[in-house]
Amino acid sequence: MTFKAAAIQMCSGIDPASNAETMARLVREAALQGAIYIQTPEMTGAIQRDRAGLRSVLKDETGDLVVREAARLAGDLGIYLHVGSTPIGLEDGKIANRGFLFGPDGKKICDYDKIHMFDVDLENGESWRESAAYRPGSTARIADLPFGKLGFAICYDVRFPELFRCQAVAGAEIMSVPAAFTRQTGEAHWEILLRARAIENGLFVVAAAQGGDHEDGRQTFGHSMIIDPWGRVLAEAGPSGEAVIIAEIDVAAAHKARGRIPNLKNARDFVLDEVAPTGQGGVAA
């Protein structure tokens, strides 16, 4: 089945209500252009560095404004709407970086909690400790949809190829990578990582991104992308500001790419043997 997929680029602020309104406007724009699968970026509902400030606006899943608006939009527009992620308050005081997929009936199909936490110190002085506030997920997930099998990842997950390989081997033909990449890491690695994950797994990648100078002072890279299984960029947004990008997806192209380069089938188990030169306490190889 061939269908239109859309990636929504946003520059979310600290107010969930305002962000929900922006999401709704852009989703409607994508639906008017014929997209039936629409993805929003990581942290659609709020980007807020101040953890106390973020917690003050958090709701649980049933009370979250973005979640409720997304369910309504999916039902009203008859689309598959994927909130790439939004922060959800948990009972233990932690936060879930959680994505949601809603069907054309407005009901939730599934959710996905970001597995890998961005705990890094960058050369420009930026320091991130997601694990201090967020509870990591532990379950990878595939949604078997009428137009193809959709796998889930969020932002930093893209640096862990085993997550993508696991889902590709299980049948995923499309991978979602909503993100809020920093400008520094985005300039270095965003496109090459997305294209590599598409190529090595023979699947489409849809990556809706945050882009621009945010209300809390954060700078994100933008460049939302849709990439085919041969690594070609089918659609790309600019570096900042709102955007709707759309591409035609035919999942048969994923199977064709895997037929041309059957690396998923050719993979073999192996053992790792570490050796040292003779005379340094090891044995000769």
Catalytic residues: 42, 114, 155
Residue 147, CB half-sphere, CA atoms under 13 Å: how many? Answer: 16
Pick from 29, 25, 17, 40: which is nearest to 180 by CA? Answer: 40
Reading the block at residue 187, the tokens are: 């300039």
User: How many Cβ atoms from other residues are within 10 Å of residue 280's Cβ?
Assistant: 6
Residue length, the chain? 285
The crossing angle, in degrees rounded to 10, of helices 65-77 and 16-32 is 20
| Pair 223, 231: CB distance under 8 Å | no
| Cβ neighbours for 31, distance < 8 A, ≥ 6 positions apart | 38, 77, 79
Burial of 222 (0-12, 13-18, 19+ CB in 10 A): buried
Reading the block at residue 254, the tokens are: 């994923």
- CA dist 159 and 264 (Å) reads 19
Phi, psi dihedrals of residue 28, rounded to the nearest 5°:
-65, -40
